[in-house]
């Protein structure tokens, strides 16, 4: 049974109306921010998955991995999931945040030092060369990989990190 | 002109304050919600302290004021405040204050986490305590209610409805932003099967899949996937139109819960937070057995210790439960299946509600067809909704 509260408290009415007006302003601000910059936080958004509407031949995925060569001649491959296993949000996105750079050939020195320390803790032996490689994989509609293209490569200065 | 305007404003005010929620219903939900917070949502945030500030990429907003992640003691403090306020919500101790504290602290704590690269879109879950607190979810089955009753003060039976309307509008708008972005992104274009794309990405790029999703992905029937695309967009947009009636709102939220079950089964993405949020619009007080949840909390009294006041004993209970939950989360991470269980239970409740409604509609149809009044138990079922 629907019930209508007695509207005899002017304070309640004013608060409720103000809240609705405030919501309208918030929606306007967050929408403007999203269109002019990117999705703000905190804001009232839900995940859109809008990028999934692509033609079949463009189904792709940008992925990073770290290749390591040690002084014993062994080589290892680490995914962001392995390097940033402690992250409670998607490690690939955290890795992307830390390695984003205006220069295609370098990343922030603080990120370099951090990634090298993580690599050192996972690698048996001493790393001689550490490289981050970003590849773009293309799939068809059955999920079969059509090709894999390298889009960026950054060699981390291992010698500078050594004591 | 002025009369028409004042009449419209009057109608608007009436709509804003109308509804069938009782404080008992919200209080039962408060206990369920608080327990779920303690079990599922006390996530670790201390890892941020290990990361250099070059990983700090805040979104537009207040977190741009910071230049990096906070130190570990601050992250631990935020986690503890969240755990304590969740415990206070369960027991109903200083409920409104605890609810607002939870919302603010969790938004701040998550703001730092999301500045590391990805927004998890759990804002609706974090806003729930603030709005439900204002609606009066602490006024029944709580220590607060018990204390006030002893002073001869009892809140009215019906809840404060404007915060619930406002919250429903926020949920509707949030879902609409997803639908709108999908439309702009081309989900309604019949040449792209976005749902299938998302599935392929999950399986082959992100390596997240189960046997069922792998089987579904093998069947690329474009028109079928296109129906999935259109249904998703329509469903996400529909709440914005349904929000004007509580009944329509509940139907839509029930269907959305089943939609989340489908997303979990096929895409292996669990939106358990949203399913928990939709529970705030369930009329818990008419659900068989739900009152027992409230009665259990009402029966609990903190142990009487000589020399301690009732207030101190309540605070002690909050600290004990909150710290225990926080400590357990430190040692044992929440298993992934817990989120799936929440979605399955939510879907069972949604299915029950939809079936109940269908039965009610059939009853009404037969009432219209027949001149004799229906049996009394059917009349009772009609009055529930």
Contact assignment for B18 to A2 by CB distance below 8 Å: yes
User: What was the ipTM of the complex prediction?
Assistant: 0.90
Name the B residues in 159-178 with CB < 8 Å from any A CB.
160-163, 166, 169-170, 173-175, 177-178
Contact assignment for A7 to B13 by CB distance below 8 Å: yes
Taking only the tens of pLDDT, chain B with its 385 residues reads 678 888 898 888 888 889 999 999 999 999 999 999 999 888 899 999 999 999 999 999 999 999 999 999 999 999 999 999 999 999 999 999 999 999 999 999 999 999 998 999 999 999 999 999 999 999 999 999 988 988 888 888 899 999 999 999 999 999 999 999 999 988 998 888 888 888 887 887 777 777 888 888 888 888 999 999 999 999 999 999 999 999 999 999 999 999 999 999 998 888 999 999 999 999 988 887 888 887 777 777 666 667 778 888 889 999 999 999 999 988 888 888 999 999 999 999 999 999 988 888 888 778 777 765 555 444 433 333 2
Q: Which residue of B has its CA nearest to A87?
A: B47
Calpha distance B102→B127 (Å, rounded):
9
Calpha distance B271→B125 (Å, rounded):
11
Rg (CA), chain A: 24
pLDDT tens, residue by residue, A101-157: 888 889 999 999 999 999 999 998 889 999 999 998 877 766 666 778 888 999 998
Contact assignment for A7 to B57 by CB distance below 8 Å: no
* Cβ-based contacts of B162 with chain A (< 8 Å): 12, 15-16, 19
Q: Are A65 and A79 in contact (CB under 8 A)?
A: yes
Shortest Cα distance, chain A CAs vs residue B76, angstroms: 15
* Residue among A45, A91, A144 with most chain B CBs within 10 A, to mutate: A45
Q: In b/e form, how buried is each residue of B109-136, taking b as 16+ CB within 10 angstroms?
A: bbbbbbbbbbbebbbbbbbbbbbbbbbb
Name the B residues in 48-87 with CB < 8 Å from any A CB.
50-63
pLDDT tens, residue by residue, A68-110: 999 888 999 999 999 999 999 999 999 999 999 888 889 999 9
Q: Which residue of A has its CA nearest to B191?
A: A55
Contact assignment for B170 to A145 by CB distance below 8 Å: no
pLDDT tens, residue by residue, B143-198: 999 889 888 888 888 999 999 999 999 999 999 999 999 999 889 988 888 888 88
Strand partners, B22: B158
* Residue among B48, B65, B117, B243 with most chain A CBs within 10 A, to mutate: B117
The angle, 0 to 180 degrees and rounded to 10, between the axes of the packed helices B162-185 and B222-242 is 150
* Residue among B79, B116, B223, B245 with most chain A CBs within 10 A, to mutate: B116
Calpha distance B234→B117 (Å, rounded):
29
pTM: 0.91
Beta carbons within 8 Å of B20's beta carbon, 6+ residues apart: A1, A2, A3, B246, B283
Contact assignment for B200 to A17 by CB distance below 8 Å: no
């Amino acid at each position: 049974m629907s019930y209508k509260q007695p509207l005899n408290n002017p304070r309640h009415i004013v608060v409720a109306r103000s809240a609705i007006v405030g919501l309208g302003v918030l929606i306007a601000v967050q929408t403007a921010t999203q269109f002019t910059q990117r999705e703000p936080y905190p804001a009232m958004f839900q995940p859109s998955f809008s990028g999934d509407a692509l033609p079949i031949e463009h189904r792709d995925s940008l992925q990073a991995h770290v290749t390591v060569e040690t002084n014993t001649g062994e080589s290892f491959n680490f995914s962001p999931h392995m390097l940033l296993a402690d992250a409670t949000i998607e490690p690939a996105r955290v890795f992307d945040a830390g390695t984003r750079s205006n220069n295609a050939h370098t990343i922030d020195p603080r990120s370099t030092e951090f990634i090298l320390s993580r690599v050192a803790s996972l690698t048996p032996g001493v790393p001689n060369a550490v490289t981050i490689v970003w590849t773009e994989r293309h799939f068809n509609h059955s999920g079969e990989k059509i090709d894999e293209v390298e889009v960026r490569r950054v060699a981390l200065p291992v010698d500078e990190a050594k004591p | 002109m002025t009369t028409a305007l004042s009449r419209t404003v009057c109608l608007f005010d009436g709509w804003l304050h109308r509804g069938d929620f009782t404080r008992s219903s919200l209080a039962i939900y408060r206990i369920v919600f608080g327990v779920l917070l303690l079990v599922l949502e006390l996530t670790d945030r201390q890892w941020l302290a290990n990361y250099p500030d070059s990983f700090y990429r805040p979104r537009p907003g207040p977190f741009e004021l910071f230049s990096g992640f906070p130190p570990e003691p601050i992250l631990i403090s935020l986690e503890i405040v969240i755990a304590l306020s969740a415990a206070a919500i369960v027991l109903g101790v200083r409920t409104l204050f605890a609810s607002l504290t939870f919302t603010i602290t969790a938004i701040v704590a998550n703001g730092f986490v999301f500045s590391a690269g990805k927004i998890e879109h759990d804002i609706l879950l974090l806003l729930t305590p603030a709005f439900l607190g204002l609606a009066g979810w602490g006024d029944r089955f709580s220590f607060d209610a018990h204390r006030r009753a002893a002073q001869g003060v009892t809140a009215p039976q019906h809840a404060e409805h404007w915060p619930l309307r406002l919250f429903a509008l926020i949920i509707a708008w949030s879902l609409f932003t997803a639908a709108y972005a999908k439309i702009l992104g081309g989900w309604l274009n019949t040449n792209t099967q976005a749902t299938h794309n998302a599935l392929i990405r999950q399986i082959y790029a992100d390596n997240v899949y189960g046997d069922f999703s792998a089987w579904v992905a093998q069947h690329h029937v474009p028109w079928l996937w296109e129906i999935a695309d259109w249904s998703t967009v329509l469903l996400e947009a529909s709440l914005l139109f349904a929000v004007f009636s509580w009944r329509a709102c509940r139907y839509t939220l029930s269907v959305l819960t089943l939609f989340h079950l489908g997303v979990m089964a096929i895409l292996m993405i669990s939106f358990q937070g949203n399913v928990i949020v939709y529970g705030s619009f369930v009329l818990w007080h008419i659900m068989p057995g739900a009152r027992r949840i409230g009665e259990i909390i009402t029966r609990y009294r903190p142990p009487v210790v000589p020399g301690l006041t009732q207030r101190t004993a309540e605070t002690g209970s909050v600290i004990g439960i909150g710290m225990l939950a926080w400590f357990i989360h430190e040692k044992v991470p929440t298993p992934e299946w817990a989120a799936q269980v929440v979605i399955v239970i939510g879907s069972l409740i949604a299915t029950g509600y939809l079936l109940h409604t269908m039965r009610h509609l059939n009853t009404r149809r037969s009432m219209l067809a027949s001149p004799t009044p229906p049996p009394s138990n059917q009349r009772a079922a009609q009055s529930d909704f």
